[in-house]
Homo-oligomer: A and B are copies of this chain.
Amino acid sequence: MENETRQEEIIRVAAKLFKEKGYSAVTMRDLATTMNMKAASLYNHINSKQEILEKIIMRIARKFSVGMTTVKSSNDSCIVKLKKIIALHVEVSSQNIYGMAALNHDWVHLEAQLGPYKKLRSDYENDFKEILKEGIAAGEISPIKPDVMMFSILTTLRSLYLWIPKKEVIHLEELTNNLSEILINGIIKEN
């Protein structure tokens, strides 16, 4: 990963700082210091602080959209679709630990891209809910409020970035399996 553009490096480092303190609390001088340069020099590579935030967030948001489209268009059962979505979150989150924090917390500070971001997110949530409703209609899933179900599952998946780095060894497949088990079957022991 050493053919990384200087711009990409700035964005990567910015994402890390944004995770630690939030977009608003990170100054261009903070970012510059971490990059071992002066604040003004950053502008040889990026146009504005806002642009950094946009790139961090929209890049990841689009990955989720693409993933959801793939899952939606498959012929799997609803439960399998759900498992694939869980795997999608584990994958994207583990590869973008810092960026996920910005996506979850700092999207409110988007300006020009706020609308597009919200569109992607609400489309995603609608697709998610649709899968749950299909599952209920097909008798695969309990007929509880799909809203509450989606909220419960999706907030867990959206918070993965907080938690993945705490695991000593990140065994992604095992994590995906454990999460699927818990989110789908619950925690209660069946006899």
Taking beta carbons and an 8 Å cutoff, which residues of A are in contact with B? 20-25, 79, 105-106, 108-109, 132, 135, 139-145, 147-149, 151-153, 155-156, 158-159, 162-163, 167, 175, 178-179, 181-190
Contact present for B149 and A188 (CB under 8 Å): no
Contact present for A156 and B152 (CB under 8 Å): yes
Q: Which of B23, B149, B158, B189 is in CB contact (< 8 Å) with A182? A: B149
Q: How far is the CA of A189 from the CA of B187 in the complex (A)?
A: 14
List residues of chain B with CB within 8 A of the CB of A189.
139-143
Contact present for B188 and A185 (CB under 8 Å): yes
Task: Select from chain B the residue with minimum beta-carbon distance to A139.
Answer: B189
List residues of chain B with CB within 8 A of the CB of A22.
22-24, 105-106, 108-109
Task: Select from chain B the residue with minimum beta-carbon distance to A109.
Answer: B25
Contact present for A155 and B153 (CB under 8 Å): no
Contact present for A179 and B24 (CB under 8 Å): no
Q: Shortest distance in angstroms between A152's beta carbon and chain B's nearest beta carbon?
A: 5
List residues of chain B with CB within 8 A of the CB of A142.
181, 185-190
Contact present for A145 and B178 (CB under 8 Å): yes
List residues of chain B with CB within 8 A of the CB of A140.
188-189
Q: How far is the CA of A67 from the CA of B182 in the complex (A)?
A: 25
Q: How far is the CA of A114 from the CA of B26 in the complex (A)?
A: 19
